[in-house]
Structure 1
């Protein structure tokens, strides 16, 4: 008796599922980018004595660059990229994520009147970061590295 192969999953279902390798790669790259952002910000604020907004702007761009390169050469290495457009879209997606974090903090602090340091940390660094990460993952996967056959593929 010959074993029959399992029927293939419909393409639409396969395309909508996220392989664990993609999630792990995205998370690992994100942690590396966060470390680069934090380290550079600390150096620019400390020894370099830059003002906080300039330091954060530069460290944000450095973190975005680390994340873009890590995702382009690792997590989404099979995507076909050309020119500066993918990087610009990636930075825009990350700016949108930063705005989500600020919005969560603003709503909690100013809208709901939850003004303690703990409330600010929970709203900005926990709730805001979680929502921003979902947005960044979706935006990175669908707007930046959306090459045909790559998003949701099981090969790699």
Structure 2
């Protein structure tokens, strides 16, 4: 494949990955904001605690979406390691997300419903940039090319072989 063709293929694949990440992430944002506002309206919890609960629910939702939709074609061995790394990077994203909300609420005194949702959403955006990079780099890693070929070959070896072909004898031209 030519260099421009290879680059184009990589860009198309990256575009698909970003789109799938966006679908799961977008639904995760909705889950996060819905739970955040539900907890805020039904409990007396402080804003950042309510936000952390909402973020934790969204993290669980997102893991399922990323593993079984966005990155379903990625390496699946070592599920414990994968989940541990996912939780680690998700917690860092949670700190980024809720750090923005904390700074706006307690540092700047902007704690009204509109301001809290704006800064919650802004924090989610910053956390998402970090999560996208870390998940694709460390958690849901692409199979190396050699392993991908071996996986495909092992799959082909497991299928039943086709029945043997009957050889066709060539008849002599003069009979």
Measured against the shorter chain, the TM-score band is: 0.5 to 0.7
Give structure 2 stretches of 5+ with no counterpart.
146-175
Q: Which has the larger share of helix?
A: 2
> Which deviates more, 58-67 or 91-100?
91-100
Larger Rg: 2
Q: Matches of 1:16 and 1:145 in 2, distance apart?
A: 18
Instruction: Quote the Cα distance in structure 1 between the aligned partners of 2:132 and 2:90.
Output: 10
State the TM-score, normalized to the length of structure 2: 0.58
CA offsets, 1:6-52, max 9 Å, x none?
Answer: 425698997798621100111111111111122223333434x3624
Alignment root-mean-square deviation, CA: 3.9
Query: Matches of 1:7 and 1:30 in 2, distance apart?
Result: 34
Give the number of equivalent residue pairs: 140
Query: What TM-score comes out, normalization by structure 1 length?
Result: 0.64
Q: Report matched runs for 1:12-51 at 5 Å.
A: 19-47=14-42, 49=43, 51=45
Cα contact 2:32–2:58 (8 A) shared by 1:
yes
Question: C-alpha deviations, 1:42-71, integer Å up to 9, x for none?
Answer: 333434x36245543332221001111111
1:134 corresponds, among 129, 137, 160, to 129
Cα pair distance change 1:93/1:130, threshold 3 Å: same
